[in-house]
Amino acid sequence: MSEIEQAEQELIEEFGFFDNWMDRYQYLIELGRRLPEFPADEMTEDNQLQGCQSQVWLVSSAGDGRMHYRATSDAAIVRGLIAVVLRVYDDRPPEDIVAAEPSFIAALGFDQHLSPTRSNGLISMLKSIRSRAAAECAGSTA
């Protein structure tokens, strides 16, 4: 089992403890509160993701054969979604990120229980994370 698959499985098990979506939303908000502080000087237009109703900033870097991501949002539930996505993709090899389909989104029920605007924002985050990993893969083979 890859690191990504393991992180996905852990999240599925964690969210499985909650009987209803109100509890899951509260857990998402709590996960978002636990995100490390995001530097104000990195909340720039260049780091802001498009396609999100909330403001979302994402910074990535690569080192030691792994991708590193930091992100934040001005919305509590979106910060929680960021925390979930970073648990899956942060500090993972770029090849693994590109190869992994984000099936955990449906397994967690996000595809059914998020508003359309939050779903669009989540899709934008995933596309950006995966495209940055793909760019790193392309750069390492050049």
Q: Which residues are catalytic?
A: 52
110/88 Cα distance (integer angstroms):
15
- Asked if 90 and 67 count as a contact pair (C-beta separation under 8 A), the reply is yes
- Asked if 59 and 69 count as a contact pair (C-beta separation under 8 A), the reply is yes
At 100, the amino acid letter reads A
